[in-house]
Amino acid sequence: MVPGARLVLLGKQGAGKGTQCVRLARHYVIPHISTGEIFRNAVKLGTEFGKRAKEFMDAGELVPDDVVVGVVAERLGRDDVKVRGLLLDGFPRNVHQSEALEGLLPPRGIDLVIDLEVPTEVVLKRLSSRRVCVNCETNYGVDNPPSIDGKCDDCGDRVIQREDDTEAAIQRRLFLYEEQTAPLIAWYMGKDKLVAVDGVGSPDEVTFRLTRAIDLRLRNV
Per CB under 6 A, residues contacting ligand ADP are 13, 18, 35-36, 39, 56-57, 60-63, 68, 90-91, 93, 97, 173
152 binds Zn ion (CB under 5 A): yes
d(Cα 36, Cα 85) in Å, to the nearest integer? Answer: 19
Answer for which of 2, 83, 136, 142 binds Zn ion (CB under 5 A) is 136
Burial class from Cβ neighbours inside 10 Å (0-12, 13-18, 19+) for residue 141 reads middle
Give yes or no for a contact between 35 and 2, defined as CB atoms under 8 angstroms apart: no
- Among residues 190, 122, 219, 128, the alpha carbon closest in space to that of 165 is found at 128
Catalytic annotation, pick one of 17, 75, 126, 131: 17
Annotated catalytic, 173?
yes
The helix-helix angle for 35-45 and 48-58 (nearest 10°) equals: 120
Answer for which of 155, 160, 216, 221 binds Zn ion (CB under 5 A) is 155
* 173 interface partner picked from ligand ADP, Zn ion, none, CB below 5 to 8 A per type: ligand ADP
Annotated catalytic, 54?
no
1 binds Zn ion (CB under 5 A): no
Reported residue count of the chain is 221
148 binds Zn ion (CB under 5 A): no
Give every CB contact of residue 219 below 8 A, 6+ residues apart in sequence.
1
* 199 interface partner picked from Zn ion, ligand ADP, none, CB below 5 to 8 A per type: none
Partners of 86 in beta bridges: 6
* 148 interface partner picked from Zn ion, ligand ADP, none, CB below 5 to 8 A per type: none
Annotated catalytic, 162?
yes
Annotated catalytic, 108?
no
Q: How far is the CB of 150 from ligand ADP (least distance, A)?
A: 21
Q: How far is the CB of 219 from ligand ADP (least distance, A)?
A: 29
Among the residue ranges 72-80, 157-165, 182-190, 195-203, the one whose residues contact Zn ion (CB under 5 A): 157-165
Q: How far is the CB of 207 from ligand ADP (least distance, A)?
A: 18
Give yes or no for a contact between 14 and 127, defined as CB atoms under 8 angstroms apart: yes
Q: How far is the CB of 41 from Zn ion (least distance, A)?
A: 14
Give every CB contact of residue 153 below 8 A, 6+ residues apart in sequence.
138, 146, 147
Which H, E and C letters describe 4-25, residue by residue?
Answer: CCEEEEECCCCCCHHHHHHHHH
Annotated catalytic, 130?
yes
Give the chain's radius of gyration (CA, Å). 17
Catalytic residues: 17, 93, 130, 162, 173
Residues that bind Zn ion (CB under 5 A): 133, 135-136, 138, 152, 154-155, 157
